[in-house]
Structure 1
Amino acid sequence: MVSNTEWIDLTDDRIRSIREIPARAAEFVEAFPLTSFAQNAVHSIGIEKLYSHQASAIEAARRGENVVTVTGTASGKSICYHVPVLESLADGNNTAIYLFPTKALAQDQLRGVKRLLDTDPARAKSIVCGTYDGDTSQHARRKLRTHGNLILTNPDMLHAGILPNHAGWARFFENLRYVIVDEIHAYRGIFGSNVGNVFRRLRRIATHYGASPQFLCSSATIANPAELAERILGEPVTVVDRDGSPRGMKRFLLWNPPKFDPNSSERRSANIEAKNLMVQFVLQGIPTIVFARSRITAELIYRYAREDLLMKHKKLADKIAVYRGGYLPKDRREIERRLFEGDLLGVTSTNALELGIDVGSLGVSILVGFPGTIASTWQQAGRAGRTEEESMSILITYNDPIDQYLARHPAYFFDQTPENAIVDSENPYILARHLACAAHELPIEESEDVELFGANMAPVLDAMEEHEKVMRLKDKWYWSSTDYPAAEVSLRNMADATFTITEIFPNGQEKERTIGTVDAISAPELLYPEAIYLHDGETYFVRELDLDQRVAYVERREVDYYTQAIVESTIRLGKGIAEAEVPDGKKMLAQATVSWMTVAFKKIQFQNMDSIGWGKLDLPSQELETVAMGLHVEGRIVGRLADESLRISEGLAGLRNLLLVVAPLFAMCDRSNLGGVVESSNTGVPTLFLYDRYPFGLGYSEKCFHILDEILHACLELVGDCPCDDGCPSCVGMPRQPVLHHDPDTALGIPMPDKRATKRLLEMLGEESGAPAESGVAPASATSGVAPDPGEDRGDREQRA
């Protein structure tokens, strides 16, 4: 492959910064002892010597330690757990379970495991290995249950299919030696908090059968891999993080779309810029992946690119595809196969392809908008350059506060260390659901199981007994319901239920068919009547949303626009958790009930992004019991603002918009995991509320409460650094999904909050030095620790209130 300096004009004015990441030579360990079986297996895939991190991880595993290997993409992390497993198979009774965040990863890794086993046909014949998931036939399931040595699956199947039926897996659990947890950095937030409880249930069942398995994990680079792994596994771990693998030279470009004219605050669409770059690279024959923040964006860029290629090089239009959650499994498998085999030259994706599915050798990765965390940014960038050849990554910035800040201060991005991740396995809502599953699997013993499930176990079980779900006899809790609790628990989504998207045909020309699914929280915001739903580059008009049957009926239509929901939110405060003074005001943390509904939608034209119309909606509201942080000021600051002809309500409206894009950076969560509203009904004065969009909260607003000074300082930097005069989408403008503030001053919708009011409010809040004392709860790090992506992909959830 030619040097990447020839792929693109590196003097283009849109390139705000170029960082060259130099090539790195491999660091090998000479003559590392392996069993003959393991030695032959790694030799069969071209490994003559181990990298230093591989040897260190294998040694730690041999010492009986739980291990998490934290190295870059394509660094051979899988060898760190394959070798101990292969060596354990010398005892033909030993078993191991491999866990991957997605079915696709499990199926991808099965090919690699079989290649290793096939080096010794006689041994391979005696080892029963396979994937165990929703696509596995009943015959294969029975064989794996009764004779399996190596099972490759995902946490969802372990949770709902294996643990509740452990009696049928008795032989497997009695001999369980290793639990492999690949991509453990993906288990954060909602998904990670659920999976942490699944692992506690797994350890409990293994103990019941007399086993004590080791956990061998791999992770991308994050700031707290040991803390994250220990919170998820519930056991101490050894971290191996010195990367001995080689790396080809990579150029990382920050690309800022130009303004329409020097006096405008609007910039050319990042989506169009991404399309142009993708087409440019595909025409050169350079394999390219484009990562988008949302399903809609991934579909739009694919649609635009395909239209371009049909005009410029018709055959290449069939060499690109779109990949995201919501597609049927067989369609995703086909795209994965074509990528791996080199049949595709380009793919647009949500972060569904961020994880380590082997997609072959890609030359370029394009990130449309900052993914939300430094860790995710480098993970997506690392999908290009998975060999020692040169590669390129391009981050195209949106016209929003964080992206434009990065464009103006590239050193902040390039020199920033990856964030801490957050999980809260003791969230009462999550814990109650998993205690129900645990009691269904085995009676819960109060004296022993409290070490697994924590101090919240007893009060949660008491509440469950009141609802006749469990029954206490002496010191044990027994499941007393006829329900199958695991079937009611989704590990990945805010809502357990999903909506089916069904295509219908005029006059019954063809039989209706299912084209996708979406979670119940998202459905009213994506699939409302008259919405345009994008799927595989096609536009579908939503004819009906059946809330009772959880079905959206759509028909294919050629239109030149897409739709965007407008959501109205209100909040009611409950029991206070903590509060502290701020200059001339107060910040608070409290239980809260948030209600929201999709009240209208905008029609936005493809390509030029012009708003061409809107419509009203009449959908029922949704309600959420959660945790919220509130901030209100009064007295001197309000008076000072008034003296300058500025209104506190406008200052708070602008601050709310800033917080919705800044706070997720500090909480390491997706923007859709936090909501915000400005209203006055709870406190009598205009108050800004920031809340977790998950039942009972996951620690995000709590973390923001404790580090509010730091977050407000970042907001002030952003708004002060923006060159606009009166406010723009790069500072105090609305987030990309409009949300109506429910306050007398703002309910009519300030098109652009007053930038001066927002900036002066932030300056006045920061004038007093020192942080006031807080009351009520411990710092968030003591109670939360690690952040989400709902196991469904961050990019797969649309921006919400």
Structure 2
Amino acid sequence: MDFAQFLKRCRADRYYAGQIVHENLQPARPAVHRELDPPLTEPLPAILAAEGIERLYSHQAGAIEAARRGEHVVLCTGTASGKTLGYNLPVLEHLLAEPNARALYLFPTKALAQDQLRGLESFREGGIEFVSGTYDGDTPSSMRTRLRERAQILLSNPDMLHAGILPNHMRWSEFFANLRYVVVDELHTYRGVFGSNVANVLLRLRRIAEHYGSTPQFIGCSATIANPEEHASNLFSAPVTLVDEDGSPRGPRRFVLWNPPLIPDDMLGRRRSNTVEAEALMTELIRGQVQTITFCRARVIAELLGRHVRERLARRHAGLAERVRSYRGGYLAEERREIERQLFEGELLGVTTTNALELGIDIGGLDACLILGYPGSVSSTLQQAGRAGRGHEEALILLVAADSPIDQYLMSHPEYLFGQSPEHAIIDRKNMHILLGHLRCAVAELPIRDDECETLGDYAPAVLDLLAENGQVRHQPGIWFWTGSGYPSREIGLRSSSEDVYNICLLPDGQVIGTVDGISAFSLVHTGAIYLQHGETYHVERLDLNEKNAYVKEIETDYYTNVVDETKIRLDQVDEEETWHEGQVGFGDATVTIFTLMYRKVKFHGHDVLGYGGLDLPPQPLETAASWLTPPMAAL
């Protein structure tokens, strides 16, 4: 499709009211190749040639050269630029020279690990013999033993490394003794609390590897962030070599800011729903055979938008309606894999999704990308926009603004989006709240020598003294020992959200049709909720908090539900507070509690509220560290 003509038709439409507020035209970029000296070990070149890859991009060659020199590497290039070869090729080249070597690949999600496992198959089919597999919560116990003993490339996630592998390192002694590479993909996702925890997990990994006589190299891959070298160095606790000159080709891109019009005669100055705007845009693109992905801020929106687009298409294009699906977390793994395959092979023309498809799962290049509301960062915006682009053809990206202050600011100040670098990824591995838990884990895994304390963090000696007072560790000359009970890693989650998972069970037989995380269960699958999946509607008959099951019945209904909740923040302890610009800024401990009070029944079309239902759910408290700003009285 000629996207300039598409936008021209939009402007000529009778419903057009100046929605296009900015167009950013990005020219095509040619490929930049570089030869390796020496060339790749056979049969790697032949395998790549069979896949249509005759030459490496410059950034792929740069990452391989740095890895060959024994350096820790971070590869920071755009979406779909071929970063995977930047770590697969040096790892496989090493395995060809040293078959006993081991590599550990870490991904933030199980889905990504499965996707990359499939990507390794072409090398095995090309004649390279190696054992690989995913090691996570879904891996059968019989397979775990085989992988522990034989896997040369082990694909896992930081949570499993933290709670399942490191505490049991004696059973993994051969793996750690031969560990040569640790690959950390999607490096930009490891920020904040999660990233700070993962940095400590990686430091514990290095301690254990060194205990067994190995010093693995780290290779990280990241989407565009402002500080990839600094961030990787902080995560790996080691200096890194940055490779960030993207040699992959890209077709021209047309990035449009689309602002829904003001509602006529609305006294509050509200704008038309961006979901309604996206529904019309996506429908027209699919009618034109344009393969389109739409990113939504919430699961319910992804389901509703997919349902509405299918309904609009079904009126005149029933065949096209069947080629639109929704995708989000909570679907069963086999459902997600099937949707990914359909996208990659072009069977689907449209998908409405949460940020679940923002990460690097291989779904091929699509023609157009709609972003339904600013994702919250320039980095995420670029990552989502990067899903559009097929070879040398033009790609269309539409950011459809919400009626929120931040989105409206972007509509008036496009230079914020297009004229500055993405955000920094920030972690604090030595944060005392985080360090406390990981020191318990580290000393339980291996005794800590006094001369190690400095590398573990400035607060490490004080924290160990505190643990000794509580009877969890004991100090002997030059060394600290764990005297507590059990595995402390089981008590420590890496992510800030709840790690509980609720199953969604279809009555009458209890078949599991999906899952939902614990923090979202009260809003999505409370008793009386309408649960949406693949355009079907299910009524939640009962939410069992003890069994962590939501029991649902499939029904036909003309409404969906959303909850009315209230969040209260209680300040528990002030650690620091000072005057700033005549106001106050502070830092300390706080408890954030969510109270889920009731739910609304909302019509699918028109969004009229049909009624309310009461809920009797316990509050959800979260103890955390907090910072706050008290503005000066004159500003209030």
The TM-score with structure 1 as length reference comes to 0.74
Cα contact 2:36–2:61 (8 A) shared by 1: no
- 1:336 maps to amino acid: E
Quick one: distance in 1 between partners of 2:397 and 2:350?
14
Cα contact 1:493–1:519 (8 A) shared by 2: no
Moved more, 569-578 or 416-425: 569-578
Provide, for residues 141-184 of structure 1, a one-character-per-residue CA deviation record: whole Å limited to 9, x for no partner.
Answer: 33322222222222233223322332232222111111111111
- 1:516 maps to amino acid: G
**Alignment-derived partner of residue 563 in structure 2:** 565
Relative to structure 1, is the Cα distance of residues 104 and 622 closer, same or farther in structure 2, using a 3 angstrom cutoff?
closer
Shift of 1:551: 3.0
Quick one: distance in 1 between partners of 2:540 and 2:20?
40
Shift of 1:467: 5.2
**Alignment-derived partner of residue 256 in structure 1:** 259
1:106 aligns with 2:113: yes
Shift of 1:32: 4.2
Pick aligned residue for 2:68 from 54, 58, 62:
62
Query: Equivalent residue of 1:312, what SS?
Result: coil
Relative to structure 1, is the Cα distance of residues 455 and 112 closer, same or farther in structure 2, using a 3 angstrom cutoff?
same
1:95 aligns with 2:98: no
Quick one: distance in 1 between partners of 2:582 and 2:178?
63
For 1:392-403, what aligned pairs fall within 5 Å after superposition?
A: 392-403=396-407
For 1:325-344, what aligned pairs fall within 5 Å after superposition?
A: 325-344=329-348
Provide, for residues 502-560 of structure 1, a one-character-per-residue CA deviation record: whole Å limited to 9, x for no partner.
Answer: 333xxxxx302223333333333333333333223233333333333333333333333
**Alignment-derived partner of residue 3 in structure 1:** 2
Query: Equivalent residue of 2:100, what SS?
Result: coil
Quick one: distance in 1 between partners of 2:449 and 2:296?
47
The share of aligned pairs that are identical, in percent, is: 50
**Alignment-derived partner of residue 711 in structure 1:** none
Provide, for residues 674-700 of structure 1, a one-character-per-residue CA deviation record: whole Å limited to 9, x for no partner.
Answer: xxxxxxxxxxxxxxxxxxxxxxxxxxx
Cα contact 1:566–1:598 (8 A) shared by 2: yes
Shift of 1:206: 0.7
- 1:260 maps to amino acid: I
Cα contact 1:599–1:618 (8 A) shared by 2: yes
Cα contact 2:453–2:461 (8 A) shared by 1: no
Relative to structure 1, is the Cα distance of residues 402 and 633 closer, same or farther in structure 2, using a 3 angstrom cutoff?
closer
Shift of 1:365: 1.1
Quick one: distance in 2 between partners of 1:552 and 1:468?
41
Relative to structure 1, is the Cα distance of residues 558 and 493 closer, same or farther in structure 2, using a 3 angstrom cutoff?
farther
Relative to structure 1, is the Cα distance of residues 430 and 31 closer, same or farther in structure 2, using a 3 angstrom cutoff?
closer
- 2:572 maps to amino acid: G
Pick aligned residue for 2:370 from 366, 381, 386:
366
**Alignment-derived partner of residue 25 in structure 2:** 20
Moved more, 611-620 or 101-110: 611-620
Cα contact 1:44–1:116 (8 A) shared by 2: no
Query: Equivalent residue of 1:113, what SS?
Result: helix
**Alignment-derived partner of residue 171 in structure 1:** 174
**Alignment-derived partner of residue 202 in structure 1:** 205
**Alignment-derived partner of residue 413 in structure 2:** 409
For 1:293-442, what aligned pairs fall within 5 Å after superposition?
A: 293-442=297-446
Query: Equivalent residue of 2:539, what SS?
Result: strand
1:272 aligns with 2:257: no
Provide, for residues 29-85 of structure 1, a one-character-per-residue CA deviation record: whole Å limited to 9, x for no partner.
Answer: 246432332333333322222222222222222222111111111222122212221
Quick one: distance in 2 between partners of 1:3 and 1:614?
47
Cα contact 1:32–1:50 (8 A) shared by 2: no
1:282 aligns with 2:281: no
Moved more, 522-531 or 334-343: 522-531
Query: Equivalent residue of 2:342, what SS?
Result: helix
Relative to structure 1, is the Cα distance of residues 628 and 219 closer, same or farther in structure 2, using a 3 angstrom cutoff?
closer
Pick aligned residue for 2:601 from 600, 603, 614:
603
Shift of 1:308: 1.9
Moved more, 141-150 or 626-635: 626-635
Moved more, 596-605 or 299-308: 596-605
Quick one: distance in 1 between partners of 2:419 and 2:54?
35
Query: Equivalent residue of 2:165, what SS?
Result: helix
Cα contact 1:566–1:599 (8 A) shared by 2: yes
CA-atom RMSD, angstroms?
2.5
**Alignment-derived partner of residue 662 in structure 1:** none
Quick one: distance in 2 between partners of 1:152 and 1:301?
34
Quick one: distance in 2 between partners of 1:181 and 1:436?
24
Pick aligned residue for 2:588 from 572, 590, 593:
590
Cα contact 1:248–1:391 (8 A) shared by 2: yes
Cα contact 1:173–1:211 (8 A) shared by 2: yes
Quick one: distance in 2 between partners of 1:46 and 1:100?
27
Quick one: distance in 2 between partners of 1:73 and 1:389?
16
- 1:601 maps to amino acid: Y
Quick one: distance in 2 between partners of 1:634 and 1:186?
35
- 1:25 maps to amino acid: P
Shift of 1:465: 4.7
Shift of 1:493: 4.3
Relative to structure 1, is the Cα distance of residues 372 and 181 closer, same or farther in structure 2, using a 3 angstrom cutoff?
same
Shift of 1:257: 1.5
Query: Equivalent residue of 2:311, what SS?
Result: helix
Quick one: distance in 2 between partners of 1:519 and 1:465?
36
Shift of 1:4: 3.0
Cα contact 1:32–1:55 (8 A) shared by 2: no
Shift of 1:624: 3.0
**Alignment-derived partner of residue 35 in structure 1:** 40
Shift of 1:294: 1.1
Quick one: distance in 1 between partners of 2:187 and 2:564?
35
Relative to structure 1, is the Cα distance of residues 148 and 263 closer, same or farther in structure 2, using a 3 angstrom cutoff?
closer
Cα contact 1:288–1:366 (8 A) shared by 2: yes
Aligned length: 627
**Alignment-derived partner of residue 536 in structure 1:** 534
Q: Which runs of 5+ in 1 are unaligned?
A: 505-509, 638-760, 763-801
- 2:22 maps to amino acid: S
Cα contact 1:74–1:387 (8 A) shared by 2: no
For 1:109-148, what aligned pairs fall within 5 Å after superposition?
A: 109-119=116-126, 121=127, 124-125=128-129, 127-148=130-151
The TM-score with structure 2 as length reference comes to 0.92
For 1:615-654, what aligned pairs fall within 5 Å after superposition?
A: 615-632=613-630, 637=634
Query: Equivalent residue of 2:366, what SS?
Result: coil
Shift of 1:363: 0.7
**Alignment-derived partner of residue 91 in structure 2:** 85
Quick one: distance in 1 between partners of 2:88 and 2:415?
38
**Alignment-derived partner of residue 158 in structure 1:** 161
For 1:190-229, what aligned pairs fall within 5 Å after superposition?
A: 190-229=193-232
Cα contact 1:45–1:116 (8 A) shared by 2: no
Moved more, 459-468 or 148-157: 459-468
**Alignment-derived partner of residue 769 in structure 1:** none
Cα contact 1:578–1:588 (8 A) shared by 2: yes
